[in-house]
Structure 1
């Protein structure tokens, strides 16, 4: 049996899940995520080995409850009363009830948060197909960065590798922040698989992983739907 740990960049998964499967209630999204992970463990006819699930590690940030000034509304917005705040907390609670899930929550740099124009809206303003008077709340997005999440992913990768707790790690993520930890895990003999959920990855990443496997559906031709958080906005 190939002992396998699945590690999930939560913010990345929710964006891609929204892209492929649309908005869902917290319990539906949690069940969807669990089933998505189970597909990675299901017997693959192309491989002679069989995998057993060690644990699913889910990494995300606690939702912010701060009050942030909105330049269009000209007032502060209480994030703690938003649909996103409630959705996120309900979603995390659902994950806690899922079998073999380990929830790792960092925090958001709320003191540095601000509302800014979406890229498409800014381009329309600059080419004069949109005026300031026509701006709506939908043209703005909240910029807020996660803290500690990448570090927790790296620590857990190194920990399970050094302790020989797993033979394989499947990481569901889309960027290269994991490379140092992946290199360390591979030096310890761990088979390191990346699931970028159909997102393009940098060519040089291939030398730091042992393969790519995804259960995400193929992109539809001409699909230009914006990627956003899988929670209500």
Structure 2
């Protein structure tokens, strides 16, 4: 019987699901989405009797730092924001969901920089607004994920080299995973990609065996 593992780029999936308004984003919702891949397949790439091995979910912990907001000069405790609380609630939901392994990396505030939203940058460059027009919600800390790609790549290598599964389905659009994908294919694994209707690079598309999704095509 074919065993399938799912490896999920958490930040990517969450952003896509929220934008597409696809399903309630918690542990059971994530698991059910992965199971749809097994229930709804036609047997071309995934066997009809394939079973779930495990879902690996990769994300970073909430930012636990304090700073001064550049617009208001008010102190901000990022660990107490609604976003941080929502992230902790999601992690607890995932931990309680069967067959999901949570892999947590680090969130880093890059040089304590703040960035302006792209929409507002465009308006500034076109001189339609001035800096004085920026509001508190127009800027955000410049944060980066650390160790997520490393954990994801190591798990791909472990699953492949120990022959723990027959197929992987990656929910991501990150072409940095191509070397790990090539290693897994050399070990005999079949690699599927679910980009959730996001654009992907030619390099990533070339090295996976098939591309699929269970989300309805968005009407852009």
Matched pairs, number: 218
Greater Cα shift, 114-123 or 47-56: 47-56
1:72-122 deviations in Å (ceiling 9; x for gaps): 112331101101111101100000111100000011113634321111101
Distance 2:5 2:22 in 1: 27
CA distance in structure 2 between the partners assigned to 1:135 and 1:146 by the alignment: 27
Paired residues of 1:43 and 1:51 also in contact (CA < 8 A): no
Aligned twin of 1:40? 37
Q: 1:23 to 1:187 in 2, by over 3 A?
A: closer
> 5+ residue gaps in structure 1?
222-233
CA RMSD of aligned residues (A): 1.7
Q: 2:192, 2:112 → 1: CA distance? A: 34
Whole-Å Cα distance in 1 between the matches of residues 121 and 205 of structure 2?
35
**CA offsets, 1:16-45, max 9 Å, x none?**
011111795xxx533321211111121523
Greater displacement, 185-194 / 204-213: 204-213
Provide the residue aligned with 2:3 in structure 1: 3
Between the aligned partners of 2:199 and 2:150, the Cα distance in structure 1 is 23
Who is 1:170 aligned against? 169
Deviation at 1:128, TM superposition (A): 1.7
Shift of the alpha carbon at 1:129? 1.4
Where 1:116 maps in the other structure, the secondary structure is: strand
Structure 2 gap ranges (5+): none
Equivalent positions of 1:36-185 (< 5 A) are: 36-47=33-44, 49=47, 50-110=49-109, 112-185=111-184
Distance (Å, rounded) in 2 between the aligned partners of 1:59 and 1:169: 15
Length-normalised TM-score, structure 1: 0.88
Cα 1:110–1:142 shift into 2, 3 Å: closer
Name the CA distance, whole Å, in 1 between partners of 2:82 and 2:134.
22
Cα distance in 1 for partners of 2:150, 2:123 equals 37
Q: Does 1:214 align with 2:213?
A: yes
Task: Give 1:68 deviation, angstroms.
Answer: 2.4
Identify the structure with bigger relative contact order (alpha carbons < 8 Å, sequence gap 6+): 1
TM-score w.r.t. length of structure 2: 0.93
4+ residue runs over 4 A deviation? none
